[in-house]
């Protein structure tokens, strides 16, 4: 018996999981952070020096490739977060997806909340580059009090066809989708089901687990444009987010089909509020009310949302830090969109355009998806305010152009 | 796809909470893995850090096919087959015809032990080919290896192959940096391999860092070909048009031995043990890792009622000429050995040589409208 214990302790110090008779006996295992040389899932890689392990990024065009130098790689390669996420885990998706000459992808993901701290040397510059110069010392303001939004209930429905606000949330105490185990993912699902089941009134709804959905349910969710499918994008797959599909993934929506939650897709939770027409105020009201209720329920179960005063809400992709919020409308701007100043106006308003199929699609019939460009460094109220004010102005401009009038005197200043 | 499987937090959950949902699955892993086995193995890892979740991830993510029984697990290093034997031994037994944990595998790469094989009728046998895989000791396997390891394997392979001469003189083409002209030629020669798209492979992590450290080597005669860092560290292929399997096998054995010598000199021999033979990434390739086959015209025999039975008795399998799972075209079939483990290389190629000879004779008889009933072989 004593031999066994000695062996276990010895094996523990060189970082090997030690077998125990069954899964109920206490697991004796190596704490990753205590390992003398840190990180490795593949311990053999520490037999090689940093130059031999440094990835070939010569054809790459993403934020990670711009920032990760060989010297930085050397300093970070032996670290790991308490759950065992390493630098190589973070950057694998950026290595496997060199990027696009015109689209700047992020090229890295977080595996847990601690990733952003342990690997700040890499992630702070990535965040700064992606979020308009956001500094490591900056503070992010969260404001999901819908009463602070001015107006937004009177966007012209002849032009504004639909309004939508989405965000993501991570549940503290669990690793993120690139890294979470099946047990963790199922626990996130279980907590989510409990929390959502206790919503009432306008938010009364139902959960549909992906793995035992009936054909009828599936068809309905497809028709409603609610159903999400296994990721096919190599950006997501290369980071490990598709593992064990469809285990513990599901969709919840309220009976009115105006509030939707995705469980365990790209983030632990994706929360969406939407409706036809231009009443962004109502959409945002429901968004804030629903989110706040859900957050309270999670907090009661000792699993609050991941948040800190520097990065705001912590999500899997660094591009979604802060508010994680994209608020947008589908709006008819056939004249405005052909105007030479369209791009400039959008930039000044801090808005971005997409086709109505989402990111990277083309506009159809002059209808554009217009949403906030920022995520971090502005509050939710501020971002939705920009959308509300900006879209109102764009519609005014559209109306002027329809009448053959100039828009020069209503050009906005840079926000 | 990357792997979860070094997530320390999973040990906070019970084996039951972590056990995968295999209810829709049809692969060897799903048949064998019980909650008890999972509970016993989940706290283990090999010295390089490969865990049972790493082993099974590809089988969890790829439920399988109602008709094709995939393996559903991979090894990340040589030690997997020992540390996870509770899972892998039953899978090996299931896949390799009842091969027992106590069985010994015989290796025989002495081409002179092959009888005949130089006289398969070229009017029927269009081409002959032998392939196998090899893992290099001291490096982890493609699902798990780091960039440094993979590059180390490539470097050793380039050195080893560069020192070959005579009929084995050749050239290495790294995937990274191939010119368009080189690429076109390799495609035309049917030599070029591309980034795996099969989720069976990508879910096991074999496509990471593509195309870093990957390449193709072939001799000037284009009869001996080596793939570096694709599904295994090395894939070695000997081939030529016509029916001279003896010559193909001679070149295969001679070339392999030469390569192995050079790796041994660098203290990186091939992974092998007396129970499992050559250690490869997929348990289905253990033993010899050898597939010896021909493209052969059997338009009449292939439509005969007893064709499948004959193949089974001869311990052969058929494929279309596009490889596994393709249809045959113009009555031309790819016929190769079905076994990998439990019989030697010579044994397996002998089965192909004797079996194909018999089938060509049967084909000739059927052409003359004669019966083949007296020629049906006994079970080998």
Q: Nearest-CA distance from B51 to chain A in Å?
A: 9
The pLDDT, as a whole number, for residue A229 is: 76
Mutate to test the interface with B, among A243, A249, A250 (most CBs of B within 10 A): A243
Which residues are CB-neighbours of B8 under 8 A, at least 6 positions away? Answer: A29, A31, A32, A82, A83, A84
Q: What pLDDT is recorded for position A102?
A: 67
Nearest CA in chain B to A174: B9
What gap in Å lies between CA A204 and CA A198, rounded to an integer? 8
Residue A270 is assigned to a ligand binding site: yes
Q: Pick from A143, A128, A155: which is nearest to A63 by CA? A: A128
Q: Which of B2, B11, B75 to mutate to test the interface with A (most CBs of A within 10 A)?
A: B2
For residues A290 and A308, what is the distance between their CA atoms, to the nearest angstrom? 21
What's residue B289's pLDDT?
96
The whole-angstrom separation of Cα B247 and Cα B241 is 11
Are the C-beta atoms of residues A317 and A201 closer than 8 Å to each other?
no
Is A330 known to sit in a ligand binding site?
yes
Interface contact B146-A29, CB threshold 8 A? no
Average pLDDT of span B21-34: 96
Contact A152, A279 (CB under 8 A): yes
pLDDT band per the 50, 70, 90 thresholds, residue B242: very high
A52:B16 CB<8 A: no
CB interface of A with B, residues 231-260, below 8 Å: 237-240, 242-245, 247
**Average pLDDT score over residue span B14-30:** 95
Interface with A, mutate which of B1, B5, B7 (most A CBs under 10 A)? B7
Q: Name the packing angle between helices B245-265 and B147-162 (round to 10°).
A: 120
SS3 at position B335? strand
Q: How far apart are CA A39 and CA A89, in angstroms?
A: 10
Q: Are B120 and B295 in contact (CB under 8 A)?
A: no
Give the pLDDT score at A18. Answer: 28
CA distance linking residue B5 with residue B55, whole number of Å: 9
Contacts of B18 in chain A (CB under 8 A): 181-183
Q: Is the pLDDT of residue B287 over 70?
A: yes
- Nearest 5°: phi and psi at A301? -95, 15
**CB-CB neighbors (< 8 A) of B57 in chain A:** 243
CA distance B366 to chain A (A): 50
B300 by Cβ neighbours in 10 Å (0-12 / 13-18 / 19+) ranks as middle
What pLDDT does B67 receive?
67
Closest by Cα among B59, B5, B57 to B28: B59
Is-contact A317 A106, C-beta < 8 A? yes
Can you list the residues of chain A whose pLDDT is less than 70? 1-40, 101-102, 357-362
For the cut 90, the answer to whether the pLDDT of residue B263 exceeds it is: yes
pLDDT tens-place string over residues B178-221? 888 888 888 888 788 877 777 878 888 999 999 999 999 999 99
- Interface contact A17, partner B, CB < 8 A: yes
A24 CB near a chain B CB, below 8 Å? yes
| Residue among A21, A43, A44, A114 with most chain B CBs within 10 A, to mutate | A44
Residues 6+ apart with CB under 8 A from A219: none
Contact A22/B at CB under 8 A: yes
Residue A75 at interface with chain B, using a CB cutoff of 8 Å: no
Q: Check the annotation: does A225 bind a ligand.
A: yes
Q: Is B27 exposed, middle or buried (0-12, 13-18, 19+ CB in 10 A)?
A: buried
Distance in angstroms (rounded) separating the CA atoms of residues B69 and B55: 17
Distance from CA of A13 to the nearest CA of B (A): 12
Which residues fall within 8 angstroms of residue A51, CB to CB, at 6 or more apart? A70
Chain A: residue nearest B59 by CA?
A: A244
Give the Cα separation of B46 and A291 in Å (integer).
Answer: 44
Whole-angstrom CA distances from B55 to A135, A147, B281 are 42, 53, 10
User: CA of A246, closest CA in chain B: separation in Å?
Assistant: 9
Mean pLDDT score, B76-89: 97
Phi and psi of A155, rounded to 5°? -70, 135
> Binding site membership of B for ATP: which residues?
127-131, 190, 235, 291-295, 319-324
- Nearest residue of A to residue B25, measured between CA atoms: A244
Q: What angle do CA B242, B244, B245 make, to 5 degrees?
A: 115
Query: Touching check for B193 and chain A: CB below 8 Å?
Result: no
- Ramachandran assignment for A248, one of left (phi > 0), alpha (psi -120 to 50 degrees), beta (any other): left
Scored b (16 or more CB within 10 A) or e, A103-132 reads eebbbbbbbbbbbbebbeebbbbbbbbbbe
pLDDT at A370: 96
Query: Within a 10 A sphere around the Cβ of B183, how many other Cβ atoms?
Result: 13
Number of H helices and number of E strands within chain A?
A: 13, 10
Greatest alpha-carbon pair distance for chain B in Å reads 72
Q: B234-249 burial by CB neighbour count: b if 16+ within 10 A, else e? A: bbbbbbbeebbbbbbb
Q: Do the chains contact at B3 and A41, CB–CB below 8 Å? A: yes
The per-residue pLDDT for range A352-401, each reduced to its tens digit, is 998 876 555 667 789 999 999 999 999 999 999 999 999 999 999 999 99
Cα separation, A249 vs A269, whole angstroms:
10
B117 and B125 Cβ atoms separated by less than 8 Å: no
Residues of B in contact with A92 (CB under 8 A): 2, 208
Q: Which residues of A236-252 are buried (b: 16+ CB within 10 A; e: fewer)?
A: bbbbbbbbbbbbbbbbb
Phi, psi (rounded to 5 degrees) for B287: 100, -105
| Token output for A246 | 């469809």
**Does A44 contact chain B (CB < 8 Å)?**
yes
Dist. CA A238–CA A317, nearest whole Å: 13
pLDDT for A281 equals 97
What average pLDDT does range B4-13 have in this prediction?
Answer: 78
pLDDT score, position A15: 26
Over residues B276-292, mean pLDDT: 97
Q: Chain A, 305-334: which have a CB under 8 Å from a chain B CB?
A: none
Which 1-30 residues of chain B touch chain A by CB within 8 A?
Answer: 1-21
- Catalogue the E-assigned strands of chain B: 125-134, 170-174, 215-219, 224-228, 234-241, 272-273, 277-278, 291-297, 316-319, 332-337
B270 neighbors B132 (Cβ within 8 angstroms): no
Number of C-alpha atoms within 13 angstroms, CB side, residue B107? Answer: 19
Predicted confidence at residue A12, as pLDDT, reads 30
Chain B residues inside the 8 Å CB shell of A182? 10, 17-20
């Amino acid at each position: 018996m004593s031999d066994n214990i000695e062996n276990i302790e010895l094996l523990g110090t060189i970082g090997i999981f030690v077998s125990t008779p069954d899964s109920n006996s206490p697991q004796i295992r190596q704490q990753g952070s205590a390992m003398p040389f840190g990180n490795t899932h593949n311990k053999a890689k520490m037999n090689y020096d940093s130059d031999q392990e440094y990835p070939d990024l010569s054809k790459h065009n993403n934020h990670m490739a711009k920032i990760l130098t060989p010297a930085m790689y050397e300093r970070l390669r032996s670290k790991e977060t308490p759950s065992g996420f390493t630098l190589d885990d973070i950057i694998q998706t950026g290595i496997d997806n060199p990027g696009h000459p015109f689209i700047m992808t992020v090229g890295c993901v977080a595996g847990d909340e601690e990733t952003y701290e342990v690997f700040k040397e890499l992630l702070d510059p990535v965040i700064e580059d992606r979020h308009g110069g956001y500094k490591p010392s900056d503070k992010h303001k969260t404001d999901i009090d819908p009463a602070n939004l001015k107006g937004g209930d009177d966007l012209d429905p002849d032009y504004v066809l639909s309004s939508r606000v989405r965000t993501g949330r991570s549940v503290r105490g669990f690793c993120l989708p690139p890294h979470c185990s099946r047990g963790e993912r199922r626990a996130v699902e279980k907590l989510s089901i409990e929390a959502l089941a206790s919503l009432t009134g306008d938010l009364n709804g139902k959960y549909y687990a992906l793995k035992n959905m009936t054909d009828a349910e599936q068809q309905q969710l497809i028709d409603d444009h609610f159903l999400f499918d296994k990721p096919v994008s190599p950006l997501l797959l290369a980071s490990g987010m598709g593992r064990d599909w469809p285990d513990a993934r599901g969709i919840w929506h309220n009976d009115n089909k105006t509030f939707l939650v995705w469980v365990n897709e790209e983030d632990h939770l994706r929360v969406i509020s939407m409706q036809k027409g231009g009443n962004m105020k109502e959409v945002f009201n429901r968004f804030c009310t629903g989110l706040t209720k859900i957050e309270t329920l999670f907090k009661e179960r000792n699993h609050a949302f991941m948040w800190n005063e520097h990065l705001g809400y912590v999500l899997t992709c660094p591009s979604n830090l802060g508010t994680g919020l994209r608020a947008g409308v589908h709006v008819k701007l056939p004249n405005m969109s052909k105007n030479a100043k369209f791009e400039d106006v959008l930039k000044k308003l801090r808005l971005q355009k997409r086709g109505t199929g989402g990111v990277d699609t083309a506009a159809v019939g002059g209808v554009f998806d217009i949403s906030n460009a920022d995520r971090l460094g502005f509050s939710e109220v501020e971002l939705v305010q920009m959308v509300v004010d900006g879209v109102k102005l764009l519609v005014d401009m559209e109306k002027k152009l329809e009448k053959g009038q100039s828009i020069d005197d209503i050009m906005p200043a840079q926000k | 796809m990357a792997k979860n499987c070094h997530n320390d937090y999973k040990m906070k959950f019970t084996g039951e909470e972590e056990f995968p949902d295999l209810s829709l699955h049809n692969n060897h892993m799903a048949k064998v893995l019980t909650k008890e086995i999972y509970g016993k193995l989940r706290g283990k890892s090999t010295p390089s850090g490969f865990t049972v979740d790493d082993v099974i991830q590809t089988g969890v993510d790829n439920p399988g096919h109602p008709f094709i029984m995939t393996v559903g697990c991979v090894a990340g290093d040589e030690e997997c087959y020992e540390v996870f034997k509770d899972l892998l031994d039953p899978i090996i037994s299931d896949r390799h015809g009842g091969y027992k944990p106590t069985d010994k595998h015989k290796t025989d790469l002495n081409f002179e032990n092959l009888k005949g094989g130089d006289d398969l009728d070229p009017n029927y046998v269009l081409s002959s080919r032998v392939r196998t895989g090899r893992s290099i000791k001291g490096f982890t396997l493609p699902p798990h290896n780091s960039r440094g390891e993979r590059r180390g394997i490539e470097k050793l392979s380039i050195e080893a192959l560069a020192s070959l001469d005579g009929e084995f003189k050749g050239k290495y083409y790294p995937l990274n940096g191939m010119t368009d002209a080189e690429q076109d030629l390799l495609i035309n020669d049917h030599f070029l391999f591309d980034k795996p798209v099969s989720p069976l492979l990508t879910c096991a992590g074999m496509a990471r860092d593509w195309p870093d450290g990957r390449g193709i080597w072939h001799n000037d005669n284009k009869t001996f070909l080596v793939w570096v860092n694709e599904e295994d560290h090395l894939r070695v292929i000997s081939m030529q048009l016509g029916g001279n399997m003896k010559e193909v096998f001679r070149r295969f054995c001679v070339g392999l031995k030469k390569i192995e010598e050079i790796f041994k000199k660098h203290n990186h021999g091939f992974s092998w043990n007396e129970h499992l033979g050559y250690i490869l990434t997929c348990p289905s390739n253990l033993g010899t890792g050898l597939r010896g086959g021909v493209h052969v015209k059997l338009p009449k025999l292939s439509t005969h009622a007893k064709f499948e039975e004959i193949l089974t008795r001869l311990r052969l399998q058929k494929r279309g000429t596009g490889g596994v799972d393709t249809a045959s075209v113009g009555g031309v079939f790819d016929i190769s050995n079905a076994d990998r483990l439990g019989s030697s290389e010579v044994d397996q190629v002998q089965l192909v040589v004797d079996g194909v000879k018999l089938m060509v004779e049967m084909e000739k008889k059927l052409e003359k409208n004669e019966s083949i009933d007296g020629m049906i072989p006994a079970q080998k």
